[in-house]
Structure 1
């Protein structure tokens, strides 16, 4: 009865926000880049100081089964904004000349704008190219954002890392080089917009996408120096890296930079939340903090084959915690990420939820909370999963599924697909691509082949393949996986 009443209260409050005469709730989504499930203190990291995110977690719900919509950058961002599995939109890998978020896609910003919201975006876009000097595709302004300031990709520029001057673009116009670290630049502008530039009579949607802790990693010395000591060296030996081997080279001198970067990101997020509170907006704002995928892998597979040396990834000390896999891997560590949600008066403070919440759920969940309609006449894979914020089960039409359809020999040891049904996860490999077969042809004709089954409720590290013990579950899940894979793949390849 207590559980039912809590869920009823959530639905009633959400409905009252949407129907009352006063302004409906504001929405802020803060997306970190390559932040691992085990990178925050509130998720068990024994090294990194994240006091602002820890405090934020104590004021809302900590999701322990939160997932990005993809295992790599562009796909997960497409899923977040559209509520659709990114492969329906053609995002099999990342944005390029032929892969971008098309006009016909309906974004969360467009939905909320129709509901009278003022919409704003900051940071890494990675769904099309923003620079007018190159090929032009729809950018944030064409995808529903009234105000935007950002970059196409990360802090990769001619001058180096995230502290170098960066060529930001604002509302389609180049700003020239802006000196400062990426998260500080975008958060400072977002705070100014929040305090001085927005329409004070409108509800707002803010989408803030940091570069950190994506490579290149180069935090201010005041942050990295906090982690340059023997105790950090001792504790780092306890950190897990998803069963992905570290390079044999000694990279120990770089760990301080990764930890300092996460610490810096925490401070930037804290400043944004402080401005929100100073403006008297904390109580009427839903804030979601999460990551676009698991932590970046060290250069291991490529290095072992003598194919690639990439010193830019030597500073990658992100951790998926107890999970298996990292960025790109369909194993849990590639897409299970931190998920912190605060909505005062609606979400009980200091709670935890082990109910699965997926990146595709963000659009329909926000729609449900503000009383907006989910875009019709299209396949929306996410569902209104607001009950997960109270620890209550979510009703889904289909199982959640993630892809990384790589095709090179280097990555062939890694599966390409995973699917969750309850506490069971099925991971699968596509057949190896034959020499001379084009990628599109291989994708269009390949179905899940070899599989493994894990019970992540008791084996989050996915170390015990139980496929032989549950043949009926394997058969049923593989059939559903194949059906979903074909449907989403074929829709994506037709774009």
Structure 2
């Protein structure tokens, strides 16, 4: 990817006094003139969207929050390609995921609350998605779609849990929850070559790759997309990045600008990863246009949970990084943990520069994709918690009944599930966020959750407590991964597989086809 041009320093105000002033819609002003708006600005027709069978490209980044894009108000990181994409997208402005990685991924793949899939953590086998789940890619396969995943899976590393067994035709993934997490299940060599020249699983073969991980995942996805486009196959491409998850590592051409501005190495690495993502996303859009593939392709950009590394150093002084004025980040029950960007673009079919303010969530993608693809779901599958977003894509002001989204950070110590029932939890409705069974925030008037209004709204507190109790009772029997024994690093499934292949046939070098 091309290196970024150095720019003048942009200062951040040292904490704790710092309070951001930019809003999440500030880019409406700064984007004027950056992207030539197309003539189409109307809404989609739901009747034409139902069964319209677009190709679907879902790009999801890891640990990137609402404040990690320049179009969302960040004045340090530069994301011009995603800014232009934002400007012509239909945007879900109140879109929620889980506060951590694996739960969000299981919700997307299953259309149901993560705890119902047994996914209550990101490690210790509690990230394994229950095997009785009929996955979204399996549903799309049944409708004639080709399916591919490129990057992070994080829903189990044993053969039965891997994406090739869960509905994906093409697979290029690392193990565990992150590259280099060898003690938790990633391939042993990745402990020494973090994010560069990684050992990955390509379909049924462990391979040695070259280059920076984000570049590789995008290039591999694009090469596969190009092939499906040439063959005329409808496809679902899941470009599921591990960046900007720690360790905060990026190519030098992406980190140097931030070091020159005076930021610490961690901030430089993280922001460099984000700018690298932006360049790769720009390449994706460029290639779709070059291949005349944009008219039948829905492209979605989102993130898997709130931001990390919310503090850093600038010229040796502690600073608070921009977080879109939200409270909390990854692994938080507050808005900053679950409220993420969600930009949708389909040339000529979805409205451009449109905001949809309804309360939506990761569990809604399953039904939406199935409706678009014309999937006929089997009768004996799991009940889905989500809703189809097609009515909102037709009309952002369509009737959308209020709902209750249940958020729990999980991650309790072994055997402590019931003791942690109310630890780091929330119930979110269109208006309210009820946190830790105690605090109530009026989100439309107080998105930063600065004023607890529980005493003035006791009836709301009572109702949401009762709702949470019912939800907890419904999910507790389905947490099938609780109480499992810890697996030693040498006994992790992909470690065993790696050493076996190394001894029998070796680890071949692999690279994606040219794009």
Q: Specify the TM-score bucket, using the shorter chain as the normaliser.
A: 0.7 to 0.9
Q: CA deviation at 1:318?
A: 6.4
Q: CA deviation at 1:60?
A: 1.4
Aligned counterpart for 1:165 among listed residues 182, 190, 197:
197
Q: Does 1:280 align with 2:292?
A: yes
Report the counterpart of residue 138 of structure 1 in structure 2: 161
| Superposition map of 1:233-312 within 5 A | 252-297=264-309
| Superposition map of 1:92-491 within 5 A | 92-97=120-125, 99-129=127-157, 135-152=158-175, 153-156=177-180, 157-162=190-195, 164-176=196-208, 178-196=209-227, 200-230=231-261, 252-297=264-309, 319-374=322-377, 376-377=379-380, 378-389=382-393, 390-393=395-398, 395=400, 398-407=403-412, 415-428=423-436, 450-491=437-478
Q: CA deviation at 1:330?
A: 1.2
Distance 1:393 1:419, change over 3 A: farther
Listed one character per residue, the Cα deviations across residues 286-328 of structure 1 (whole Å, up to 9, x for unaligned) are 111101111125699xxxxxxxxxxxxxx99865321111101
List structure 1 segments (4+ residues) > 6 angstroms apart after TM superposition. Answer: 315-318
Q: CA deviation at 1:26?
A: 0.7
Q: CA deviation at 1:186?
A: 0.8
Distance 1:185 1:394, change over 3 A: farther
Distance 1:55 1:402, change over 3 A: same
CA contact (8 A) 2:148 2:238 kept: yes
RMSD of aligned alpha carbons? 2.8
Distance 1:375 1:71 in 2: 30
Report the counterpart of residue 443 of structure 1 in structure 2: none
Instruction: Point out where structure 1 has 5 or more consecutive residues left out of the alignment.
Output: 1-5, 19-23, 130-134, 234-250, 301-314, 429-449
Listed one character per residue, the Cα deviations across residues 313-346 of structure 1 (whole Å, up to 9, x for unaligned) are xx99865321111101111101111111102223
Distance 2:335 2:300 in 1: 21
Distance 1:265 1:332 in 2: 24
Secondary structure class of the residue paired with 1:355:
strand
Relative to structure 2, which stretch is displaced further, 116-125 or 189-198? 189-198
Distance 2:401 2:206 in 1: 43
Q: CA deviation at 1:391?
A: 2.5
Q: CA deviation at 1:44?
A: 1.2
Report the counterpart of residue 12 of structure 1 in structure 2: 47
| Superposition map of 1:19-30 within 5 A | 24-30=53-59
Aligned counterpart for 2:67 among listed residues 16, 25, 38:
38
Distance 2:319 2:132 in 1: 37
Distance 2:45 2:168 in 1: 28
Q: CA deviation at 1:149?
A: 0.9
TM-score by length of 1: 0.79
Secondary structure class of the residue paired with 1:36:
coil
Distance 2:73 2:364 in 1: 25
Instruction: Point out where structure 2 has 5 or more consecutive residues left out of the alignment.
Output: 1-41, 181-189, 313-317, 483-515
Report the counterpart of residue 183 of structure 2 in structure 1: none
Report the counterpart of residue 84 of structure 2 in structure 1: 55
Q: CA deviation at 1:158?
A: 1.9
Distance 2:150 2:446 in 1: 38
Q: CA deviation at 1:57?
A: 1.2
Distance 2:121 2:481 in 1: 15
Distance 2:86 2:330 in 1: 24
Distance 1:376 1:293, change over 3 A: farther
Q: CA deviation at 1:61?
A: 1.6
Report the counterpart of residue 440 of structure 1 in structure 2: none
Distance 1:400 1:59, change over 3 A: same
Number of aligned residue pairs: give it.
Answer: 421
TM-score by length of 2: 0.76
